[in-house]
Amino acid sequence: MLYLGTSGWAYPRWKATFYPVALPPRQFLEFYSSHLNAVEVNYTFCGRHVLTHAVAERWLAQTDKDFLFAFRGPKPITHFHRYRLRDAANAVRQFQATLLPFQRAQRLGPVVFQLPETFIADLKVLDDFLRRWPRELRVTFEFRNPSWFTDDVYRILRRHGAALCLAERDDMSAPEVITADFTYLRLRKSAYSRASLQQLAERIKRYAKRGDVFAFFRQTGDRGPLHAEQIARKLHVER
């Protein structure tokens, strides 16, 4: 399956380009899910807010049964020097508990852990973290320090069924290495031309031969959902 969307949906600046001008914010998610079939939730990244089961049930009720929610792993687990993937068992358990409504409803996409640029590769830390991560929860890692892009890291990811996040930004892109039975793309370039969107569609079509593909455009500006819709049309992903 192909899952296309953006990182979040609660953006009034998308009015007139994606959302109808008169659409109230409480209806954003319902409208979004009628056009795209997945979203990457940023809400969980900051770690200051708890995603309650009441909120989860409301989101599930506002979306179709085939719509998936991917989640960003909490920033404290990946960025705080106290953790940096180490000794984070309690924080990980608390985070996983917030995902249970989505897991039970079979509406849970992958969890993406974004590591900071200052986090230099540590094979043991990565391996230990993944040994404790439930295999039934798909997980992907966005590495922002080039030291992680090595065969040894890829072997650890493959051993645990974790995906290398194929993130692309203006200043750096991850190598095109597939390490799991699904592919996860974070599309963060400041602009995408018609030609680059066509090339991206062809890449996604190629990845889909291996398994599920999740591709999320950046939420800044107002082009992200439009780009996701364009890719969906090119690849005949129906809503």
The predicted model gives 227-233 an average pLDDT of: 95
Q: Across all residues in the chain, what is the average pLDDT? A: 93
User: Is residue 161 within 8 Å of 140, Cβ to Cβ?
Assistant: no
Does any domain span residue 81? yes
Mean pLDDT to the nearest integer, 11-34: 96
**Residue 4 domain-assigned (yes or no):** no
Domain CATH code at residue 81: 3.20.20.410
* Helix boundaries (H) for the chain: 28-35, 53-61, 75-79, 89-98, 100-104, 123-132, 151-160, 194-207, 224-234
Tracing tokens 């600046």 back to the chain, one arrives at 13
**Is 2 part of a structural domain of the chain?**
no
Number of structural domains found in the chain: 1
83: in domain: yes
Q: Is 190 a member of any domain?
A: yes
Instruction: Confirm whether 144 is domain-assigned.
Output: yes
The tens digit of pLDDT for each residue in 66-114 reads 999 999 999 888 877 666 888 778 888 889 999 999 999 999 999 999 9
Residue 169 lies in a domain: yes
- pLDDT value, residue 238: 82
Q: What does the pLDDT look like over 126-135, one tens digit per residue?
A: 999 999 999 9
Q: Which structural domain range is residue 20 located in?
A: 9-234
Q: Per-residue pLDDT averaged across 139-159, rounded?
A: 98
Whether 175 is in a domain gets the answer yes
Q: What pLDDT score does 82 carry? A: 67
Q: What confidence score (pLDDT) does residue 87 get?
A: 79
Q: State pTM to two decimals.
A: 0.95
